[in-house]
Structure 1
């Protein structure tokens, strides 16, 4: 019987609070990336995003251990219901779209009872696959990527207007744009992301593949994907680097790149350091 073999995994914070979470079972693996809180929390004084990532992580672990063959719709609905129940318990109110709700990205890979491999993605985390024939590909896309690109363009325009401002000052001036983007979450005009409501359920990206020729996989949050975004590695090169260096050394390398570009001049971005998470593995058995 085929199983998930995790070869390396890391969940490294980029700030005092880690809003990422990772998990795996014998038949599944996943990463979660909470959207950093911008205001007072509803459930966690430090970070509603961390709360959501941990809530979702716990429910996925339970569901995928107890019922690994659960149909996709049932799995996602049970996940959403569990998060909604946790929110009601911890916030003291039911989750409604009008609230400043926590949100998170999700990438999940699992083996189905028929031997195929299911890929599920929501928002800007990613699933990378490397095949025996030398191909590498990525699964998962979102309109949030374009919104983030626009935010970085605005930051660059601000830098031209205020050349003596530090990156910290530019970041603070950019928070209103980020807040406006956040308001587009789970709307037809914006992008889809995990939250305690059921608005996102119909918008999870899904693909099913034959895993017979799969060499390796990576589930990554966008913080780890900076190794690709900064063009330190191509996707195939990154797959080749994993067994040679390991996930922790690669995140160390990423942190050095970020620190050396502390004003985001070489690699324009809003956050100097971001939470970086990866689950790297293969199929065995």
Structure 2
């Protein structure tokens, strides 16, 4: 089976902040990574004013290298998180709160021994459309309900999303975000991620896919997948077709028009910021 990246896109959510997404690919795999910075003072990983950007870049570099060496996906996650944990330990004099740690979701598509396998942690998404017209969507954490409810309450208090910078979130929002983040990467918690918890490797969501070939796949961070699950402009098949026919750059422009021209205040589509980082890879899947 042959995977070929035929288009790629990454857009920062704001020109004032680092892009906390990353992506990469090898001869038989591709992935996107979506970082989220810690919710406390100080930078625990890196020095780019965003420990999530540093985490995403570090994870992408090591993920690519370990894929090229043939490591299993769980080995890759365990290795990355072990290294990040050591970095955090070296940067802090005492263990940080869970909500202080940067985290990152990822979704991977990989050809393994003639099979097509997708694996991930967090809220990135894989869309696949095959030659028979079938389309599938895969995401380990597909629901945005709780986050959207929190965003709606925040927007109501602020009387508009455009009046809020990330650093200006009110105390109630920050407290709720910290309470949720503190449960990440814990037994019984809502989410496991790339970050400082090696045990996340035991919680990777994986599935074998059997699309009729040739097929086209689209890997997306949640900021790009919002075209489907938040803004409802496309279904899975429609998004893949639009990416194939019109290109990812045009879809990125459409995404930003929705956010900056049609709903800058977040009234129609409650969200935590006007625009999120948005990353996508368009991939051709063919029988080798």
The TM-score range, normalised by the shorter chain, is 0.7 to 0.9
Q: List aligned pairs for 1:1-285, cutoff 5 A.
A: 2-15=1-14, 16-39=17-40, 40-45=42-47, 46-67=49-70, 70-87=71-88, 91=91, 100-112=100-112, 114-142=113-141, 145-155=144-154, 158-159=156-157, 163=159, 167-168=163-164, 172-173=169-170, 174-187=173-186, 188-213=188-213, 215-228=215-228, 229-260=230-261, 261-284=263-286, 285=288
Deviation by residue 1:197-250 (Cα, 9 ceiling, x = unmatched): 213111110112235535111111000011112012222111111122111111
Any unmatched runs of 5+ in structure 1?
none
User: Does the CA-based 8 Å contact 1:124-1:145 persist in structure 2?
Assistant: no
User: TM-score when scaled to structure 1?
Assistant: 0.87
User: TM-score when scaled to structure 2?
Assistant: 0.86
Any unmatched runs of 5+ in structure 2?
none
C-alpha distance 198-246 of structure 1, shift in aligned 2 (>3 A): same
C-alpha distance 144-202 of structure 1, shift in aligned 2 (>3 A): farther
Q: Following TM superposition, by how much is the alpha carbon of 1:99 offset from its aligned partner in structure 2, in angstroms?
A: 7.5
CA distance in 2, matches of 1:252, 1:176: 34
Provide the aligned length of Structure 1 versus Structure 2.
Answer: 277
CA distance in 2, matches of 1:221, 1:234: 16
C-alpha distance 99-236 of structure 1, shift in aligned 2 (>3 A): closer
User: Does the CA-based 8 Å contact 1:96-1:197 persist in structure 2?
Assistant: no
Q: SS where residue 6 of structure 1 aligns?
A: strand
C-alpha distance 250-196 of structure 1, shift in aligned 2 (>3 A): same
Q: Following TM superposition, by how much is the alpha carbon of 1:109 offset from its aligned partner in structure 2, in angstroms?
A: 0.9
C-alpha distance 182-98 of structure 1, shift in aligned 2 (>3 A): closer
Q: Following TM superposition, by how much is the alpha carbon of 1:38 offset from its aligned partner in structure 2, in angstroms?
A: 2.8
The root-mean-square deviation of aligned C-alpha atoms, in Å, is 2.6
User: Does the CA-based 8 Å contact 2:30-2:110 persist in structure 1?
Assistant: yes
Q: SS where residue 13 of structure 2 aligns?
A: coil
Q: SS where residue 239 of structure 2 aligns?
A: helix
Range 203-212 or range 78-87, more displaced: 78-87
CA distance in 1, matches of 2:211, 2:94: 41
CA distance in 2, matches of 1:95, 1:55: 21
User: Does the CA-based 8 Å contact 2:227-2:233 persist in structure 1?
Assistant: yes
CA distance in 2, matches of 1:150, 1:125: 20
Range 260-269 or range 182-191, more displaced: 182-191
